[in-house]
Structure 1
């Protein structure tokens, strides 16, 4: 187990230099922040399920992320088409199981069908990860009522079973590999929890990191580095911010100002 702040410089530099095309299916609440975060980091995002996009962009992107709450404005067919196209083209993809375990059984079944299609990374809060792993359903809407400590054992089982990296967001983010490795990333700021779409945007940035990290054995480090980047930008943004609204703007600015150097 590592408990540190990984160097986010190499991943951020690769994103800025290569400007990967990242395709996302998310909900209208989170889409704007997700796009702005990706643009600030240097990626080239497209979001939404216009006719033909899921199959074409799922196969053509460098990385894909699917926020299950995108079912608000996209269809199950759209999401599965994007996922299946990505898998067929060996495009790594990220699953964000928003509100998994909140009591909507039909919705939860759809998320399980997505997870069975083998995402490279699953990113969620403690309650969502626990529910997806088959544990107690403890979510309250999109908010977690479980602790990271409760979620880690089930997250490790889920990572091993699906062969996916599992990232659990919380006061300290935990990133788990299928072979049992665990990296704990400290830092960040509580205002991230008060900004709509911050978690979804993190999923998009993880997809960007996968797009510039072709070797599967290097993905754990890249995912951890993105969490460290997020934490670092949040800490920078909290200084000038006066509340969650100004923090959200300052957070995007902070991401744009980080230059990918080792000690930014």
Structure 2
């Protein structure tokens, strides 16, 4: 089965199974992320109280950890949730937002990697390089590096933590210990809307909740972002209308749209 066929199979599984995706994410993007998951067919859960992490891990299909708006209590909840999800064999998707921008962020990333061992790591090139210990300087939470520049860092993380690494940019890269795939598509309008990277991570979480492999889930998640972005850009007049059309595109996705809007290169 081709990567395109596997991606469409994952979409159909999401729509039929409505996986519950537990998000401990930043409060800038909660509404956007929840709506994107709903539009795709998944079920979003936004909760961060440490007291309920164990119970939520038992009922969720996947866990998304996003460090966009950090505080010590949230970090503690992420660690408890991550360990509970790992014990329950649930996939964990980690978004190291702004890694390299502050020592607190970078140290938190290290702690999550070492204590939780995420299944998928998704970030921009600078974040991935910072998490890997390379020169991953960021401009706030934005990347100042290209996807190509982060390839070695992604390969290191995949090998060292036995996970799948996604580096997103104009071309997205998905790296495992055995293969690398590049995805082309999307639109520059995505950079004009806050939280699109965070949405990518959450959609990877939805895909991971039903997919047979983490690699397929990561490829599918990024392919769906590229596709919905391209579909939305064709109708949008600017960032505001783009957000509306992006949700509609996720809702109306079909196999032909993925083929037309996203190129997957092995």
Higher relative contact order (CA 8 A, sep 6+): 1
Q: Which residue of 2 aligns with 1:41?
A: 40
- Residues in 2 aligned to 1:150 and 1:161: alpha-carbon distance in whole angstroms: 19
Q: 1:81 to 1:51 in 2, by over 3 A?
A: closer
- Residues in 2 aligned to 1:92 and 1:171: alpha-carbon distance in whole angstroms: 26
Q: Once the 2 structures are TM-superposed, how far is the Cα of residue 206 of structure 1 from its aligned partner? A: 0.6
Q: 1:222 to 1:101 in 2, by over 3 A?
A: same
User: TM-score scaled by structure 1?
Assistant: 0.92
- Residues in 1 aligned to 2:239 and 2:72: alpha-carbon distance in whole angstroms: 26
Q: Which residue of 2 aligns with 1:198?
A: 196
Q: Once the 2 structures are TM-superposed, how far is the Cα of residue 78 of structure 1 from its aligned partner? A: 1.0
Per-residue deviation, residues 212-233 of structure 1 (Å, max 9, x unmatched): 02x4xx3212311221111111
Q: 1:258 to 1:50 in 2, by over 3 A?
A: same
Matched, 1:84 2:83: yes
User: For 1:253, which of 230, 248, 252 is the aligned residue?
Assistant: 248
Q: Which residue of 2 aligns with 1:207?
A: 205
- Residues in 1 aligned to 2:82 and 2:204: alpha-carbon distance in whole angstroms: 16
Partner SS, residue 109 of structure 2:
helix
Q: Once the 2 structures are TM-superposed, how far is the Cα of residue 166 of structure 1 from its aligned partner? A: 0.2
Matched, 1:96 2:84: no
Q: 1:259 to 1:6 in 2, by over 3 A?
A: closer
Contact preservation (8 Å) 2:93, 2:121: yes
Q: Once the 2 structures are TM-superposed, how far is the Cα of residue 55 of structure 1 from its aligned partner? A: 2.3
User: For 2:231, which of 219, 236, 248 is the aligned residue?
Assistant: 236
Q: Which residue of 1 aligns with 2:23?
A: 24
User: TM-score scaled by structure 2?
Assistant: 0.91
Q: Which residue of 1 aligns with 2:264?
A: none
Q: Once the 2 structures are TM-superposed, how far is the Cα of residue 74 of structure 1 from its aligned partner? A: 5.3
Q: 1:74 to 1:33 in 2, by over 3 A?
A: farther
Q: Which residue of 1 aligns with 2:113?
A: 115
Of the structure 1 ranges 74-83 and 30-39, higher mean CA displacement relative to structure 2 is found in: 74-83
Q: What number of residue pairs does the alignment pair up? A: 256
Of the structure 1 ranges 240-249 and 165-174, higher mean CA displacement relative to structure 2 is found in: 240-249
Contact preservation (8 Å) 1:64, 1:94: yes
Contact preservation (8 Å) 2:20, 2:42: yes
Q: Once the 2 structures are TM-superposed, how far is the Cα of residue 72 of structure 1 from its aligned partner? A: 5.1
Partner SS, residue 75 of structure 1:
helix
Partner SS, residue 166 of structure 2:
strand
